[in-house]
Structure formats: C-alpha cells, structure tokens
Amino acid sequence: MASGTVLRGRGVSPGSVAAPVRHLAPALPEPDAGVTVPVEERETEASAIEWAAVAVADQLRSRTAQATGEARAILDASRLLASDPELVSEATALVRAKGRSAARAVWETAGAHEKSLAALGGRMAERVADIRDVRDRIIAEILEVDMPGVPESDEPFVLVAVDLAPADTAALEGGQCVALVTEQGGPTSHTAIIARSLGLPAIVGVAGATAIPDEAVLLVDGEHGTAEVDPAESSIAAAIAAATVVPFDGEGALGDGRPLALLANVGGAADAVNAAAAHADGVGLFRTEFCFLDRVDAPSVEEQVAAYRGVLAAFPGRKVVVRTLDAGSDKPLPFANADHEGNPALGVRGLRIARRTPALLDDQLRALAQATEAESAQVEVMAPMVATVEEARDFADRARAAGLSRVGIMIETPSAALLAAELFEIVDFVSLGTNDLAQYTLAADRLLSELGDLNDPWQPAVLRLIGMVGEAGRAAGKAVGVCGEAGGDPALAPVLIGLGVTSLSMTPRSLGRVAAAVAEVTEDDCRRAAHAVLATGTAAEARAAASAVLPGRGRA
C-alpha cells in the first residue's frame, strides 16, 4: 500500500496517534463438517463441550474481576454467553443426535445464534462478534489450542482487525495498543464502546484496512475517521497537535466580548457527567437512542424517565437540548423499523417513525416532561429528520401538549433549510445536523468511506443552506445551533457564527480548541469570513477563502 494512502471509515473514539501496525491473529478455522463421532463415543464428546464452556466462563470471570467500567460490564455479558445453557444444550444435542464433533457442534450452534441476532439488525446485529468470540474460546478449549487474540508487544502499536471481540478489546487496557482500526463494526459496537472508555482513538468500517502491511506506520484520526499509511513527519506532528485537548474554563466568547454558548453532545448519563466536568455550558444534543438500543421492545415511560433524569441532573439550571428517538438508517430498532428497506437513509427514520407508531413518540415526550419536572435543567426538545412544515407543526403540537414548552427541530434535510423562515413561525429554535445535511445535499451516503470528500461541511452547497437558516433565524430573533461534526471544527466555527449560528455543540474534548479559535475573532471577522465562503464553488476554495479573511489564526 503506497505511502500517503488515506483510508476512511467512521471515527468512533477521538484522538490522533501514529504507530506501527500490528494485526489481530486470525480466527480459528472452521471445524471439519465431515467428521462423524461413533455412537459409543458421543457422550464423552458431548461432555467435552460442557467442560469447555465452564472453563471459558471461568476465564472470562477472572478477566471481568480485573476490568473496570464499560469493559467489566461487557466481559461479564460474554461470560454469561459462555454459560448460556441453551448454547451448550443445543450443541451437545447435535453431538448426541447427529454425531457432530464437539468443535463442529459448537460452530453450527453459534452460527444459528448469529443468524438470529443478524436478523434483528442495528445494534443487536453488532452482538454477532460476541457470539463468535465465545464460540472460538470454547472450540479452542475443546481442541486444546491457543486462542487467537491481541498480539503482545513491547512497543506502541495500532491494532488492525476485521473486527474485535469484546474480550479482545477489553484486554487492551494497560497494554501497548494506542489505537484501533477495524474493517467492520459500528458506532455502538463493543469495539467503539471500550475504545472510548479507554481513551483509544478508534475507526471502524475502514474498507481495506487488513491489507495494510505489518509494521507500516499508521496515522489514526479517530475524530474524523481517517487512517493515513506511512505519513510524512509533518502530517503526524500537525494531526497530533490538532488532537491535543485544550482546557476549557466554561466561558465561550468572541474576541469582541460577544458571548457564545459552547455545548456538548452526549449519549447518556456518563457522557453528561464528563461534559459537565469539561465545563460545557450545557448540552446541545442529547441523543436518546441509548435508552432504546439492545432491546426487542420499547422501554416503558418509567424506564425512560429514570434514564433522562441521569443526564438532566448533570446540568442543573443549564440548557439541555434533547433529540427524540432517531432510529432507522444506520440505527434500526426491531420495534420501530421494518425488517428491510431498500434505501433506509431515505426511509422511515427519525420523526417519521411516528407515522407508524405514534405512541412511541408520545410516550417519549411524556417521559421527557416528567423528567423535566423532576430536575432543574432547562430542557428543550427537538425532532430529527423533519422535512416539511406539517411535520414540524405536528411535532410542536405533540410536544407542547405533553408539557414541554421549548420546542425545536433538527435541520438535516435541504427542504427544511429552504423552509427555515416558515419553520421559525412554528418552532422556538433549530439545530443543524451538519452530517446528515451534507449527506442529503450531496446525495452521498455518509457511511460510504469512498465518498468522504462529499460529506464535508465545507462544501459550498452545505454552507449556503446553513446561511439561509442563519438568515431566517436572525430575522425571527430565534436560536440556530449546530450539533453535527462541524460544531467542533475550530477552523469552521467563525464561519458558522458569521452565517448566523448562535451556539455550537460538540464532543467535550473539542470545547477548548473551539473556544480558543472564536476568542481570536470578532463578530465582524466572522461575517466577512461567511461572506467570503458563500462566493466560492468548491470545499477547497471555501477553506482558502476563510483562511484569507482570518489570517494568522491557524485555520486550514
């Protein structure tokens, strides 16, 4: 693979690091299906499965005791899988009834369980890696061979794999692995969860990652989802400097003293606690999906209230903007989405789920209202994937009827941006989801790495739509937030402010860098930068135009 090659995937844990590549050892080969165990030996063969499962459960129990936080919970879930009486009984039944070898019986039984999880889609499908991990551990125990896994090293390395099992990922704590790159996996996979908990930069869904040769140096940018092979030293230095966490004192303001709310994107109570510790001014995007994932049916109102209160409690007296359930597309849920949609990104997702199951939205709004009543945070609620005035009006009516006074919508579709003036007659605020806005404006799947250049908030078409929304917000005297990836880009922040954006929301680690960037500019600087980029025709020209208007500020 040529030096300078840049592979793209989905950044799931921020940070930048460069180190030599090491590959995860390959999985065990598939046991021979042609072996038939004689009848008189089948009982002994079946008992090998039972003993192996017990041994694996004991190994995982020991690992669980040494782990902490998310890793401990995930390893314990794997231990329970190894102890699953259904898995063991089904495998031993195959041995007794059909004469399968112990290893083959475990392989086939695990395969059936994998198919069941894959059929559920979404986050449940990502648990397939867990089943395979337990399968391989039991088979390795039966065959008395070493279990493949994370390589040992005395030097820092970037671990590259097709995917990682939870036990592998959890085993990274305290080792020499400094970043993760996988060909498969999603934002809610165990690889992503544990990488974030360990503070390891991580990218998933990187096509061709396993073709990177061992010992090639890989520059991993876990925030933007890029991995550069054998980069120049200057590229390494620039990326690591850009990823350095700058402290934030909680005071966001332009150089001329105009205050600017710098908020955090969170996905649950633990994220909210971390965001508060990072001095975020509040929450600009509370993703409520965490409450609904890993389930075959929707959570009760009571369960939701408890979950929401955990986030609101971290920000007493401060703003928390809650996004209602954004399932569908890359986050399907079995109780909310169809088994199959030909084009899920354009299908029943976000607010559109209420067309099919209105009670799901009404229950969530009711739970949010109860959580708001119980806590002192200033709660605002917004709907994702709004495309029409009618959808916005229906959502606003439902939210206000539930007792929520501040109601807004996400601007993620070009139609919503074009209708911003009319939408401001209905809602109190809007928030720009720049990731999806770029996806739908450029007609480029945001999960497809080879179209990464199109999913760029610096694309002039996207900036012009943001400018239309900002202009409508100024005319209405209402708030315009940004909660997509663009909100945490210190180079783009002054441009967004000039376009009419009144608050920026981001991962907490970006707060200090964005605060430092906006403190160097005045409102007039921002407006001139916005005017300059709106006259450009390409993303590169837009970056250059902003840099020319804002000289000497480290912008790219």
| Catalytic sites, residue numbers | 190, 483
CB 121 within 8 A of CB 329: no
Q: Give the residues across from 506 on adjacent strands.
A: 264
Q: First-to-last CA distance in the chain?
A: 27
Measured CA to CA, the distance from residue 31 to residue 111 in angstroms comes to: 12
CB 417 within 8 A of CB 411: yes
Residues found in the chain: 556
CB 467 within 8 A of CB 515: no
- For residue 47, the surrounding DSSP H or E stretch is helix 42-66
Report the candidate in 218, 214, 171 with the shortest Cα–Cα distance to residue 190.
171
Angle, CA 299 vertex, CA 84 and CA 482 arms, to 5°: 115
Q: Is 4 exposed, middle or buried (0-12, 13-18, 19+ CB in 10 A)?
A: exposed
Measured CA to CA, the distance from residue 398 to residue 404 in angstroms comes to: 9
Query: Which two structure tokens, joined as six digits, stand for 34?
Result: 């042609």
Q: For residue 326, count other CB atoms closer than 10 A to its CB.
A: 22
Q: Give the residues across from 287 on adjacent strands.
A: 323
Q: What are phi and psi of 305, to 5 degrees?
A: -55, -45
Measured CA to CA, the distance from residue 413 to residue 439 in angstroms comes to: 9
Query: Which two structure tokens, joined as six digits, stand for 150?
Result: 């994370």
Query: Which two structure tokens, joined as six digits, stand for 89?
Result: 């009984």
Grouping H, G, I as helix, E, B as strand and the rest as coil, residue 202 is strand
Residue with token string 């006259």: 535
Measured CA to CA, the distance from residue 530 to residue 469 in angstroms comes to: 13
